[in-house]
């Protein structure tokens, strides 16, 4: 029987999914469960690692049974995951010693301050590609070792293991036989040297982390062990952090390709090829998905903290819409109001401004401004923020961008995609199948399993719409310079 199906596990911040793809990249089944969020204190966010594993196992079994595809036809599993989220567990009991500390969690900002005060900022940027921030796993792991009683002693004995969510899931699914991760996830820990491709001794020392806790790092498309199910073995052949997986799913294994995922935040990645560009504009340098017979490739990454979250704000706080999809019609039918800008700095301003103390603001209100005008200005802000990051990428890399590939929930909004093309003055390319993150993980597994070659990706990715810029240079400049003024006035230094 031909093995022609791949299962992608997509373990995200809010949900856990299993998706079956056939060898044309067509979805043959999806199963999904919501993940419980724990907020023990202001700024803290946790997940239960056992719930994550339980849900992943349940959706895997459910998608197999509902799709009626036989296990013998599954060529492999690809895992993609929320990145940076940190789990520490006891390898003898298999029990986590603390809830997973989620990437959004800010509890380690003092540890970050200390790292900065000992002058590590430059070292971190050059060797891990990151900025010193509680976003990444390193300080979260230190916090667990410092705050769970006896943890450091057990770790010194070699009985504690650290992992991001991919590592935890693989360890559980392989019954503790594999403690591994891939390049893309390792590059988000602040513990991995992305230039030398090894765990970084200086960072381990600075954070007092025993090296024996860390997983082995493999290529994203390689053998990560197998899942025993109904007396059969299903190999895990692909692993990648979700943003790098979606870049791969968009065909972004080639240098020069950029993608933007419009989720709660927006994550923009540009594959810069063999060269690691160190940003002068607050962007991150990170590892792309890696293939054993290919060069290691780097990406520049910029994140917008509040993307789709601002549309949730319209829905849940202002209560001016009842669902996000309503915004498309409202934006199309509402004439552009000159000079009205919503700057959604609800969590400060991210790249390229990095002003943690800025607060959100609305500028340019007149008696004509009603709820629809504010809705439209909020949607427009997603496009303006994307331009801010893309401009920084062009400046850092010296690469001219002709096209931006898009995915994620808000990319379904035709108004937003057209406005995005207009404001960027680049073509915006939306694929027909928007589950690009899961597809990227499936590709990684399918390449190792021999179902696809990497060249097949561009054949499988079908374009839905290419949005071409339609406004004049004069209009684009006028709109964007109004946005820049609004951002300037929002900065905490000008408040
Ligand atoms: O870096 C965080 C990112 O990987 C989270 O992605 O899709 O789970 O919100 P998502």
Q: Which atom of ligand 1 is nearest to the CA of 12?
A: 8
Structure tokens at 247: 């870049």
Extract the tokens encoding 214. 């860390």
Q: How many whole angstroms separate alpha carbon 325 and alpha carbon 328?
A: 6
Distance 70 CA to ligand 1 centre (A): 31
Rounded to the nearest angstrom, the distance between the alpha carbon of 135 and the centre of ligand 1 is: 11
pLDDT band of residue 306 (cuts 50, 70, 90) is confident
Query: Which residue out of 10, 17, 45, 103 has the highest number of ligand 1 atoms within 8 Å of its CB and is therefore the one to mutate?
Result: 103
Q: How far is the CA of 306 from the centre of ligand 1 (A)?
A: 13
Closest to 433 in 3D by CA, of 412, 403, 454:
412
Single pTM value for the model: 0.91
Q: 242 CA distance to ligand 1 centroid (A)? A: 6
Q: Is the CB of 138 under 6 A from ligand 1?
A: no
pLDDT for res 376:
97
Q: How far is the CA of 261 from the centre of ligand 1 (A)?
A: 10
**Gap between the Cα atoms of 331 and 327, Å rounded:** 6
Question: 70-79 pLDDT, tens per residue?
Answer: 899 999 999 9
Classified as helix, coil or strand, 66 is helix
Q: How many residues does the chain have?
A: 495
Residue whose entry in the numeric block shows the structure tokens 């400049």: 477
- Asked if residue 84 has its Cβ within 6 Å of ligand 1, the reply is yes
Q: What is the DSSP letter of 133?
A: -
d(CA 424, CA 134): 31
Question: 291: closest CA among 237, 255, 250?
Answer: 237
The residue-averaged pLDDT of 238-263 equals 92
Of 12-16, 73-77, 187-191, 213-217, least confident by mean pLDDT is 12-16
Does the pLDDT of residue 1 top 60, yes or no? no
Q: Is 72 helix (H, G, I), strand (E, B) or coil?
A: helix
> For ligand 1, is residue 133 a contact (CB within 6 Å)?
no
In the predicted structure, residue 62 carries a pLDDT above the cut 90: yes
Which one-letter DSSP state was computed for residue 401? P
Coil, helix or strand for 394?
A: helix
Q: Is 408 in the pocket of ligand 1 (CB under 6 A)?
A: no
Alpha-helix runs per DSSP H in 187-306: 201-207, 242-249
Q: 356-382: per-residue pLDDT in tens?
A: 778 899 999 999 999 999 999 999 999
Judge residue 425's burial from the number of C-beta atoms within 10 Å of its C-beta, 0-12 exposed, 13-18 middle, 19 or more buried.
middle
Confirm or reject: Cβ of 13 under 6 Å from ligand 1. Answer: yes
Which pLDDT score is estimated for 256? 86
């Amino acid at each position: 029987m031909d093995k022609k199906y791949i299962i992608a596990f997509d373990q995200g911040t809010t949900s856990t999914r299993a998706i079956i793809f056939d060898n044309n990249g067509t979805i043959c089944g999806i199963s999904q469960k919501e993940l419980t969020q724990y907020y023990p204190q202001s700024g803290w966010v946790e997940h239960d690692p056992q719930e994550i594993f339980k849900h992943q196992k349940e959706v895997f079994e459910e998608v197999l049974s509902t799709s009626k595809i036989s296990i013998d036809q599954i060529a492999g599993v690809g895992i993609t995951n929320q990145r940076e989220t940190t789990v520490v567990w006891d390898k003898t009991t298999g029990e986590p010693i603390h809830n997973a500390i989620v990437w959004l969690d800010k509890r380690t900002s003092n540890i970050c301050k200390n790292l900065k005060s000992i002058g590590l900022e430059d070292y971190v940027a050059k060797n891990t590609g990151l900025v010193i921030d509680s976003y990444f796993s390193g300080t979260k792991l230190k916090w667990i070792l410092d705050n769970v009683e006896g943890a450091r002693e057990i770790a010194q004995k070699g009985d504690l293991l650290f992992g991001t969510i991919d590592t935890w899931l693989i360890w559980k699914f392989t019954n503790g036989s594999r403690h591994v991760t891939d390049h893309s996830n390792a590059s988000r820990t602040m513990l991995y040297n992305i230039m030398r491709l090894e765990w970084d001794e200086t960072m381990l020392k600075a954070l007092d982390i025993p090296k024996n806790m860390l997983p082995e790092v493999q290529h994203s498309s390689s053998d990560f062990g197998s899942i025993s199910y109904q007396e059969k073995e299903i190999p895990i052949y692909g692993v990648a952090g979700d943003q790098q997986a979606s870049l791969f799913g968009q065909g972004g294994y080639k240098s020069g390709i950029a993608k933007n995922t419009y989720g709660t935040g927006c994550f923009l990645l540009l594959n810069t090829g063999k060269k690691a560009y160190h940003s002068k504009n607050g962007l991150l340098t990170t590892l792309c998905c890696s293939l054993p017979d290919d060069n290691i490739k780097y990406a520049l990454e910029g994140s917008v903290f509040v993307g789709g979250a601002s549309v949730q704000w319209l829905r849940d706080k202002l209560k001016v819409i009842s669902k996000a999809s309503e915004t498309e019609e409202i934006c199309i039918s509402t004439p552009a109001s000159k000079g009205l800008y919503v700057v959604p700095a609800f969590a400060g301003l991210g790249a390229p401004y990095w002003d943690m103390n800025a607060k959100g603001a609305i500028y340019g209100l007149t008696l004509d401004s009603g709820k629809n005008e504010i809705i439209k200005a909020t949607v427009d802000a997603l496009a303006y923020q994307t331009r801010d990051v893309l401009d920084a990428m062009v400046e850092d890399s010296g690469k001219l961008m002709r096209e931006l590939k898009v995915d994620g929930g808000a990319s379904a909004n035709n108004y937003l995609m057209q406005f995005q093309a207009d404001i960027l003055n680049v073509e915006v390319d939306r694929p027909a199948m928007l589950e690009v993150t899961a597809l990227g993980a499936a590709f990684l597994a399918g390449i190792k399993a021999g179902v696809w070659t990497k060249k097949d990706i561009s054949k499988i990715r079908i374009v839905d719409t290419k949005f071409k810029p339609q406004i004049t240079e004069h209009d684009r400049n006028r709109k964007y310079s109004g946005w820049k003024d609004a951002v300037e006035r929002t900065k905490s230094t000008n408040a």
